[in-house]
Amino acid sequence: MKTIDKIYINGAFVTPKGTDLFNLISPTTNEKLGEVRLGNEEDTQNAIAAAKKAFVSFSKTTITERIGYLKSMQNAVRDRKEDLINVMVEEYGGTLQFATNGYSFLLQNFESAITVLESYQFTKTIGASEVQMAPIGVVGIIIPWNSSNGFISSKLASAIAAGCTAVIKPSEMSAMQTQIMAECLHEAGLPKGVFNIVNGLGTTVGAEITRHPDIAKISFTGSTVVGKLIAREATDTLKRVTLELGGKSPNIILDDADFATAIPMAIMAAYMNSGQACVAGTRLLVPEYRLEEVKGLIKSTLEHTKVGDPKESDTNVGPMVSQKQYQRVQDYIKIGIEEGAEVLVGGLGKPEGLEKGNFVKPTVFVNVNNQMRIAREEIFGPVLSVLTYKTEEEAIEIANDTTYGLQAYVSSTDTKRAHDVASKINAGRVLINVLKHDPLAPFGGFKQSGMGREFGVLGLEAYLEPRTLLQ
């Protein structure tokens, strides 16, 4: 049993003023792992005050100094590799495969921020003016539970690179992961108040960050519903807002694709992070005349997809993070059946032998049309909808017929054709014949998948304000 009863403010682990306790429950066994003491509004105000004070000098640091801090953060994270991976498996139920992969992104986030800093021009000449890119101020970082430390590292690395200070509010369900990350960042020896971390609920800590006049910008990753709420609230103080929200990503398999490679890859795209991924490719679009072949390939791929204990290195799909999330996925499978879609694999209930945890059966629906709720709404679990198309134009039309636009996938053996199709998809990122991340390219959503971009130069500029000097 772990008790997390400290938050991190002004360079120190302190006892929060808030006294409410929140149980940390294992997604794998539903046994209690520990509890976290939650911060309240006053704790948030103290964290914001510390970040505001630190901003005065941190905003004036040189590029070399910031690179030094980013390197120290990276080194501290490198020293705790096993702990960071294991805690994600234990507390979140992320598979060892996913947590290990996620750990390498975590390190890479610091590296990318350094790379951008090394060549970024903070002072430019535009027209007849000198334009200074100035750090925006104190940043509020509000993040979800599905890759908690990954989000802390990517957002904080950009904020530090820009010369900003930060108050971070992770999900209350990620307290054990947050604790280890906070210990790493503490080790890195940044000046007091540059980053502060407050465990707490969205409606208390998150809401205080959103309304507080001393927060200049919010970088939020989470659901579209909460993102809209934050954007609305932030208007009162005209905070800058970057929103990374949900998705219902289409995966177009063109008729000339190598199906034996593309279909197993499509299953990986749908079930990555046990389906709890904003970029999951959850709408698989296949040529109508090849549907039977696709069904066969899906079934044979799923025979080799292991659901189970996330600690085991060959597990592909772990439990859902909470009983609530488990129930949400069950509800959607039920909705799909009621809408008339056909369950090709999986279905309702828990897989045999895995009754204790929040495990769902990886599920694939066929006979889905794009108006069904299982094709339109983000489920956030291992549920894939297969849709068919007759022509390439129809495939693009279906792909774009969504309120979301975070990511899309295209497979074809003809790279020019795939490139042309990808260029017609309304999504922030389109992956062609690969499952990859580019840490220097912009990432973010079209439409209701978000606002603004993260990573690379555009990601850095989201933490800067241009100041034009004309004489």
Binding residues (CB under 6 A) for ligand NAD: these are 142-146, 169, 171, 201-203, 206-207, 210, 221-223, 226, 229-230, 244-247, 278, 378, 380, 406, 450
> Which position among 244, 378, 454, 461 bears the catalytic label?
244
Q: Nearest Cα to 144, choosing from 112, 177, 189?
A: 177
Cβ atoms of 362 and 347 within 8 Å: the answer is no
CA 318/CA 178 separation, integer angstroms: 21
CA 256/CA 273 separation, integer angstroms: 29
Q: Is 244 a catalytic residue?
A: yes
Annotate 69-98 with b (16+ C-beta within 10 A) or e (fewer). Answer: bbebbbebbeebeeebbbbbbbbbbbbbbb
The crossing angle, in degrees rounded to 10, of helices 63-79 and 175-187 is 130
> Residue 296 Cβ, how far from ligand NAD at the closest point, in Å?
31
Complete edge-to-edge strand list for the sheet that includes strand 2-4:
2-4, 32-37, 21-25
Q: Is 278 a catalytic residue?
A: yes
> Residue 233 Cβ, how far from ligand NAD at the closest point, in Å?
7
Residues present in the chain in total: 471
Amino acid at 432: I
Alpha-helix runs per DSSP H in 135-271? 148-162, 175-187, 207-211, 224-234, 259-271
Q: Work out the number of other CB atoms within 10 angstroms of the CB of residue 47.
A: 32
In the complex with ligand NAD, the residue whose CB is nearer, 170 or 362, is 170
In the complex with ligand NAD, the residue whose CB is nearer, 43 or 244, is 244
Beta strand 464-469 pairing with 129-135: antiparallel
CA 328/CA 349 separation, integer angstroms: 12
> Residue 183 Cβ, how far from ligand NAD at the closest point, in Å?
20
> Which position among 90, 91, 208, 278 bears the catalytic label?
278
In the complex with ligand NAD, the residue whose CB is nearer, 295 or 429, is 429
> Residue 382 Cβ, how far from ligand NAD at the closest point, in Å?
14
Q: Work out the number of other CB atoms within 10 angstroms of the CB of residue 437.
A: 14
In the complex with ligand NAD, the residue whose CB is nearer, 201 or 268, is 201
In the complex with ligand NAD, the residue whose CB is nearer, 143 or 329, is 143
Cβ atoms of 48 and 200 within 8 Å: the answer is no
> Residue 379 Cβ, how far from ligand NAD at the closest point, in Å?
10
In the complex with ligand NAD, the residue whose CB is nearer, 208 or 461, is 208
In the complex with ligand NAD, the residue whose CB is nearer, 297 or 317, is 317
> Residue 172 Cβ, how far from ligand NAD at the closest point, in Å?
6
* 206 Cβ contact list (under 8 Å, min separation 6): 142, 169, 200, 226, 230
Handedness of CA 3, 88, 175, 105 (dihedral sign): positive
> Residue 281 Cβ, how far from ligand NAD at the closest point, in Å?
13
Catalytic residues: 244, 278
